Structure 1
Amino acid sequence: MCHVLIIEDEPLIALDLEDLLQANGARSFSFADRQDNAIEASRKTHPDFIVSDVTLLQGTGPLAVEAIRGELGPIPVIFVTATPDACSPCAPPGRVFRKPLDRRAIGDAFRSMAFAA
């Protein structure tokens, strides 16, 4: 089973990502639209994978991911953003994709990162 935390403040994009990732093997999802909600969601259900926007309603996706990884250890992440230059800290092993969504590239990256082990 692959549980994905989607950190995205645009509901239609979050639902599109859910559909895309489910088609590529994800089985369950948590959603957050704010930095603090993302951290709390990860505490309730440990994600196997994270997909995050950069700019959120409150805080940033990269800072949420950094805090989550600090508590739970390494978790693969894909950042999907309209502002890739603002993606900080987005150091590897994360991948950064520009909006609008490149469904094929994101699906390929998800499969290779989530099921590499």
Structure 2
Amino acid sequence: MTAQSSSDMTTAIGGNLPYLRRYARALTGRQDSGDRYAAATLEAILNDPELYDAGLTAKVALFRVFHAIWMSSGMPVEDGGETGLAARAQKHLSRLTENTREALLLHTIEEFPIEEVAQIMQVSTEEAGQYVDTAFLEMRDAISGKIMIIEDEAVIAMDLESIVMDMGHRVTGVARTEAAALDLASSEAPDLILSDIQLADDSSGIDAVNQIIARDGDRPVIFITAFPERLLTGEGPEPAFLISKPYTENQVRSAVSQALFFASTETLIR
């Protein structure tokens, strides 16, 4: 590999690394374990640059190396001695058809076309499509809960509410500010929080979530932001579940299902 091509590969990997972290965190349900898999991917490429297929697009090539490592690890569903929701989440995970979650996240959260999902997973396009369809069906029926929405834009809040209710979940309410979010969480504890970052009156969805968790205990959280790369640096505590604005309905459905599966998420502490 020439110095120029090595430099080009490094630049391409650096540009896509935040999104690999996002995928890995959603796949494992935790920031720490997801980031370890992302780091292992970089180490593998460093040790053997030929693993990175320059004939593919940069993001596909990077994710393909990750997927090979993930598969070789046995795609572990770890028994960490969890109790309550976390234990039930792991039980659900162990019953899912192999490869379905991976395909769903690649297609919805990372927005790879089915053809590129197939390239990453090294299966046929038809098989990749079947994985995604199966994942939607299995996760739809696996778990439901109470969801709290923190969003100051009325149209977006209504859209999110419609999506999660259509999935069979119940919305405890919508809060537009940090103070309103704290009050809403006090009135009925949610199983999951779906939160924007920047709220009305310039208050913070992150601060609201951190206060709710500090007061009421851990619960899964999904943040929605127009600048996801700012929360995917790998430098300190960051969210495990993150949706980019503008989002798609399938992204919301996938993230909500994944977050409820794991029932605990690393939240950004400011």
TM-score by length of 2: 0.40
Q: Could you tell me which residue of structure 2 aligns to residue 79 of structure 1? A: 223
The aligned length equals 116
Is 1:105 equivalent to 2:248 in the alignment? no
Give the deviation of 1:96 after TM superposition.
1.3
Q: Could you tell me which residue of structure 1 aligns to residue 157 of structure 2? A: 14
Q: Is the 8 A contact 2:243 2:252 kept in 1?
A: yes
Greater fraction of residues in helix: 2
Distance, in Å, in 2 between the alignment partners of 1:90 and 1:23 is 32
Instruction: Tell me: higher relative CO, structure 1 or 2? Use CA pairs within 8 A at least 6 residues apart.
Output: 1
- Write the deviation string for residues 91-117 of structure 1: whole angstroms up to 9, x where unpaired: 23x411111122112201211221456
Give the deviation of 1:83 after TM superposition.
3.1
Query: Root-mean-square deviation (CA), in Å?
Result: 2.2
Q: Is the 8 A contact 1:7 1:53 kept in 2?
A: yes
Identity among equivalent positions (%) equals 33
Taking the TM superposition and a 5 Å limit, the aligned residue runs for 1:1-117 are: 2-58=145-201, 59-85=203-229, 91-92=238-239, 94-116=240-262
Distance, in Å, in 2 between the alignment partners of 1:15 and 1:86 is 26
Structure 2 gaps, min length 5: 1-143, 264-270
Task: Could you list the structure 1 runs, at least 4 aligned residues long, displaced by more than 6 angstroms after superposition.
Answer: none
Distance, in Å, in 1 between the alignment partners of 2:149 and 2:161 is 8
Structure 1 gaps, min length 5: none
2:200 match: secondary structure: coil
TM-score by length of 1: 0.87
Give the deviation of 1:36 after TM superposition.
0.8
